[in-house]
Chain A
Amino acid sequence: MVVGWIILALIVIGVAYFVGIYNALVRLRNRVKNAWSQIDVQLKRRHDLIPNLVETAKGYMKHERETLEEVTKARTRAMGAGSVGEKSKAEADLSGALGRLMLVVENYPDLKANENFLAVQEELTSTENKIAFSRQSYNDSVLFFNNKIQMFPSNIIANTFNFTAEEFFEIEEAAEREVPKVSFTT
């Protein structure tokens, strides 16, 4: 009788333990997903800001048509990008184009003093930062999640319920170097 109770108790504890691990895995996977959607939100926000920026800059930058067009084109490409690989390439191009635009802004003191431009610039700087920080946070979450599904004993549960390792969001070194100072100057 007593032995029966003990066995029952052990089974209950065991089940509770596994349920706990399972829930922790689900929580972590959701955190990864949430972090990914954060990146998406910020990328979209950047796309939304660009027409405003170009519109403001146009009036002042008569001789920088190409630079502005380049930004607009890069934006269109980035918005149309489908796969993750395409996307990160297109976004990196967009960052590069924006960086070049911000460098030539230096030559237009009137534009730099424009209140509307300053506001867009602050928003853009912040959005760039937010993209970087959400990538940082996403990669942290992925690392933690991947560790968890590879380590004992949570790996048993992970294998049983098909939790698969998530990919890191890496930015190619070259692209990264191309946007050294997207936190533009005034």
Chain B
Amino acid sequence: MMWELIRQNRRKSLVLFVGMALLLSALGYAVGAVFDPEHGGIIGLALAIGLWIVLTLISVSSGDDIILKISRAREVTPDVHPRLFNVVEEMKIAAGLPAMPKVYIIDDPSPNAFAIGIKPEKSAVAVTAGLIERLNRDELQGVVAHEVSHISNRDSQLMTVAGIMLGSIVLIAHFFLRSLWFVPGSSRRYRRGAPGGSPQLQLIMIGVAIVLAILAPIFARLIYLAISRKREYLADATAAQLTRYPEGLASALEKISSAGLPLESANKVTAPMYIVNPLLKKDMKLSNLGSTHPPTEERVKILRSMAGRADYRSYQRAFSKIKKTHSAIIPSSGLRKTKRLEAREASTDDGAAKNAKKSAREVMDLMRAVNGYAFLVCACGLKMKLPPELSTPTIACPKCGKENEVPGVELATVGAVVGAVTGAGAAGGGEGSETIGESGAPSQRYEYVRKGTGWETFSCACGNRLQLSPAFRGSVITCKLCNRTTTIK
């Protein structure tokens, strides 16, 4: 039962959380005690907890936005990719999430995905363009189910908390070890001047602090990674149960890992969030302890050993068989009430049959839509893609020469309108789709009429947002991106 699982997870999370908190407190106390044996311990403890609180506040209030920004994810609307939205909504319904997660797309050819959301009420799922390009419907469903499982199982919540704890411990240990390195003898001087504390005790304290400062980050990281790996297995199990189709996720995982493309916008901090480690693949072979993700081949093997079933119990059985351990991925109290669920059949889907060139073009169109391109179908059937910086009122069709009206040009342009049409035939492929190149002829002039005297923003012809302060008195403003000058009136 899902809710049983969530409750079990919360309990386990709490234990780990308390363990990490104790480690953090001990480290803070020991480090503080080295600098001032009398009150330093308490001060160190307070500072450590203070640091943790600050980091927690930051990540609770804006952590999700920061992560999305770092990952260069862009929020999209349903019309950009209806199928992706549908799949997310299907999984939202299956998992019984209280609200529809926001959907983000990352413009990167490497296939991958992640989910965030400290609260299930306010969550988001991000997938890369490469993922959409490569996977068919069943596989996409598997990946999205895995991500939605992270949200519904409260994994994102736990990983945030654990990550903050790890971060605080690493920061304090780092700071302490550096301080010893750069100010040699400072601790000795403190020791001599310190009243009360015996030299032996002080020496022991330093030893303990050093050992803690070296070991605590290692332990914290190991705990963190252990949770992270286990969460991946659990999310796989939940995904199989939600979709009733383990093969979808299995073949998606295979495709993702065989793509072998590192994700550019991922880094060490965000890597554990992704469905498959987005960084270099070589650490897959390394010992289990040091990796954020379980080996992908193993996850695939487990999903494929579920013998035509889709319930938690079958996953646990397959897990024990493949890993040859008795450790439980799913708490036994959660297993007790599960029913046996048969896996469904594959949905016959066009995704696999679709040729690679066509799907690549679809994804390019998708990314254009995300980046604000407008689409215009000429009477001759040619689909033109207009970049957002296009500012001419009409555009000539590169195929038949018909002048088409450009939808939604809002900026008033003054002077000669020069619609430089470039790129005919350059977009590759040729049959039926060309990109209209940038048309910003330098002779064009742009103007913006101020509405008042307060702060005002408007978009430059290239789409960049320009801001005018109340103190702005100049008559022209130059866009930093495209160097166009706009006259201010």
Contacts and interface: CB of A to CB of B under 8 A. Distances in A.
Interface of A: 31, 35, 38, 42, 119, 122-123, 125-126, 129-130, 133-134, 136-137, 140-141, 143-144, 147, 180-181, 183-186
B94 A133 contact: yes
A186 B353 CA distance: 9
Given A133-B242, A143-B1, 18 more contacts: A38-B93, A119-B82, A122-B86, A123-B86, A125-B86, A125-B137, A125-B347, A126-B83, A126-B89, A129-B86, A129-B141, A130-B93, A133-B91, A137-B94, A137-B96, A140-B1, A180-B345, A184-B348
A31 B347 contact: no
B3 A122 contact: no
A35 B87 contact: no
A130 B242 CA distance: 12
B90 A141 contact: no
B349 interface: yes
Contacts of A137: 93-96
Contact of A130 (B90, B96, B244, B345): B90
A181 B83 contact: no
A126 B353 CA distance: 19
Contacts of B137: 125, 183
Contact of A133 (B1, B2, B90): B90
Nearest to B2: A140
Contacts of A38: 93
Interface string B339-370: 00000010111100100000000000000000
20 contacts: A31-B96, A42-B93, A122-B82, A125-B347, A126-B86, A126-B90, A130-B89, A130-B90, A133-B90, A133-B91, A137-B93, A141-B96, A143-B1, A144-B1, A147-B337, A181-B347, A181-B348, A184-B348, A185-B348, A185-B350
Interface of A: prevailing SS = helix
Contact of A122 (B83, B242, B244): B83
A136 B90 CA distance: 11
Contacts of A123: 82, 86
Given A126-B87, A133-B90, A183 B96 contact: no
A180 B3 CA distance: 31
Nearest to B345: A180
Query: 8 tightest CB-CB pairs across the interface, nearest first?
Result: A183-B347, A126-B86, A133-B94, A186-B350, A185-B348, A133-B93, A129-B90, A137-B96
Contact of B3 (A126, A144, A184): A144
Given A122-B83, A126-B89, A185 B1 contact: no
A76 B49 CA distance: 65
B349 A185 contact: yes
A31 B1 CA distance: 15
B248 to A, nearest CB: 12
Contacts of B348: 181, 183-185
Nearest to B98: A34
Contacts of B94: 133-134, 136-137
A105 to B, nearest CB: 12
Contacts of A185: 348-350
Contacts of B353: 186
A129 to B, nearest CB: 5
A186 B137 CA distance: 13
Contact of A183 (B82, B89, B337, B349): B349
A164 B148 CA distance: 32
Interface string B88-129: 011101111000000000000000000000000000000000
Nearest to A31: B96
A183 B3 CA distance: 30
Contacts of B242: 133
Contacts of A122: 82-83, 86
A180 B86 CA distance: 21
A38 B100 CA distance: 13
Nearest to B347: A183
A141 B94 CA distance: 11
A136 B349 CA distance: 22
